[in-house]
Amino acid sequence: MKKLLLILLMAFTSCDRTPPKPEKKPPLVTVAKAEAKTMPYVVRTIGNTIPYATVNITPQVSGELTGYYFADGQDVKEGDLLFTIDPRTYQAELEQAQGQLLQAQGSLQFNQQRLKRYHELLPDDFVSKLNYEEYLSGAQEATGQVKEFEGSVNQAKVNLGYCQITSPLEGRCGRRLIDPGNVLTANQQDALLVINQITPLYALFNVPERDFLQIQNYNTDQGLKVSVKVPGEKEIDDGYLDFVDNTVDSQTGTLQLRAVFPNKEKALWPGQFVNVQVTLYEIPDAVLVPETAVGIDTTGSFVWIAKEDDTAEKRSVKVGQQFGRQVVINEGVKSGDTVITGGQSALAPGMHFRVKEAE
């Protein structure tokens, strides 16, 4: 009996013992070094691209369209042949004008020789002054006819040249708007083709009046640097500011600006929406941290600093501009500080942490 009671007592005693709780490990975090770089101070906005020049190709003479010599969407150079118009009528007009010119030149030669001959006889009164003046008038009239028919020949050559319609600039063709066989009218309103010059290319954009004042202060004769990219893509091209409108839109409080870009790779097309970045000046030794290091609470922006004793310090900061996945810190962090970039939700001021090893 005593033995049974001893066993039961030992069992109850062992049930009352609870195992010790395991020690809680410090939270895992990721860290990065704040670094100093020379960074631009920029104004960002949205704009759209437009052609550097647009030309509506129209005929300058009337006639039947006989051919075209390009593909829709093709790049063309200045002087490339685009269309031809039936030249026969204009060739005939040229030949007719050339014949009339030859006749006029012959008449002029005859009148000049006669005038010279009678001019030599005038001092000896072998010819009357009245007759001489008639011959002089005839020579002058013949000279005028030669000038007139020279003009007719030149005009006929111009009209014949207009039968070959060439590109006035380097650019990209749109869709052909007419087929061979149609009869064209000189200077008609309906275009045969539209060509856009896209190298270089313009971007139009608006900025608020407050930003314009900064742009105006830093603009130079060479124009401020302007960068563009298509939303979701990397930066495409750099150009410069070349035009500022002269009136602020009273309804929107914005001012329109324009930048020009080389667009050598033809990565930009007219009509695209683009992100625009105007560089005003450069900031030396700007302190950069990853965007994931910056948090916001009721007091403003802050970062967690990883101290040398592996404890966390919450520090208020003033945030500047963002560049990709990095943020400029104007106050609160200096170059070389270690900031915590991940795992901050488990931290408290003064708490120890463990740094997660890079995978």
Q: How confident is the model at residue 135 (pLDDT cuts 50, 70, 90)?
A: low
- CATH fold of 28-38+285-355, please? 2.40.420
Q: Would the pLDDT of 211 be above 60? A: yes
Question: What's the pLDDT at 5?
Answer: 47
pLDDT at 234 over 90: no
pLDDT band with cut points at 50, 70 and 90 for residue 324: confident
User: Which residue intervals of the chain are DSSP H helices?
Assistant: 2-16, 88-121, 129-161, 209-218
Report the distance separating Cα 69 and Cα 162, nearest Å.
15
With 90 as the cut, is the pLDDT of residue 233 above it?
no
- Percentages helix, strand, coil for the chain (3-state, rounded to 5) are 30, 40, 30
Q: What is the pLDDT of residue 117?
A: 65
Task: Give the range among 132-136, 185-189, 339-343 with minimum mean pLDDT.
Answer: 132-136
Q: How far is 143 from 140, CA to CA, in rounded Å? A: 5
User: CATH fold of 59-85+164-190, please?
Assistant: OB fold (Dihydrolipoamide Acetyltransferase, E2P) (2.40.50)
Region(s) of the chain under CATH 2.40.420.20: 28-38+285-355
217 against 160, higher pLDDT? 160
Comma-separated ranges of CATH 2.40.50.100 domains in the chain: 59-85+164-190
| CATH 2.40.30.170 is held by the domain 42-53+197-282 | yes
Pairing of strands 225-229, 273-290: antiparallel
Q: Which residues of 46-81 are buried (b: 16+ CB within 10 A; e: fewer)?
A: ebebbbbeebebbbebbbebeebebeeeeebeeeee
Residue 116 confidence class, pLDDT cut points 50, 70, 90? confident
d(CA 129, CA 119): 9
| 326 and 294 Cβ atoms separated by less than 8 Å | no
Report the pLDDT value the prediction gives residue 179, as an integer from 0 to 100: 97
Q: Which residue intervals of the chain bear CATH 2.40.30.170?
A: 42-53+197-282
> Which residue is listed with tokens 């590109």?
167
Q: Are strands 193-208 and 35-57 parallel, antiparallel or unpaired?
A: antiparallel
**Residue ranges of the chain assigned to CATH 1.10.287.470:** 87-162
Phi, psi of 104 (to 5 degrees): -65, -40
Q: For the residues 116-126, what does the mean pLDDT come to?
A: 62
CA distances 238 to 223, 266, 275, 279, Å, are 12, 13, 12, 11
- Cα torsion 259, 263, 266, 267 to 10°: value is -70
- How high does pLDDT run on average in the chain? 88
Q: What distance in Å separates the CA atoms of residue 51 and residue 258, rounded to the nearest whole number?
A: 12
Q: CB under 8 Å to 46, separation ≥6 — which residues?
A: 205, 273, 274, 275, 276
Q: How far apart are alpha carbons 313 and 340 in whole angstroms?
A: 10
Strand partners, 287: 36, 329
Joined tokens for residue 199: 């190298």
Give per-residue pLDDT as tens, 23-66.
678 899 999 999 999 999 999 999 999 999 999 999 999 999 99
User: What is the per-residue DSSP string for 320-351?
Assistant: EEEETTEEEEEES--TT-EEEEE-GGG--TT-
Superfamily of domain 87-162: Helix hairpin bin (1.10.287.470)
Type of residue at 312: A
pLDDT value at 269 more than 90? yes
Backbone angles phi, psi at 28, to 5 degrees: -85, 135
Residue 125 confidence (pLDDT): 61
Please tell me the predicted confidence (pLDDT) of residue 297: 93
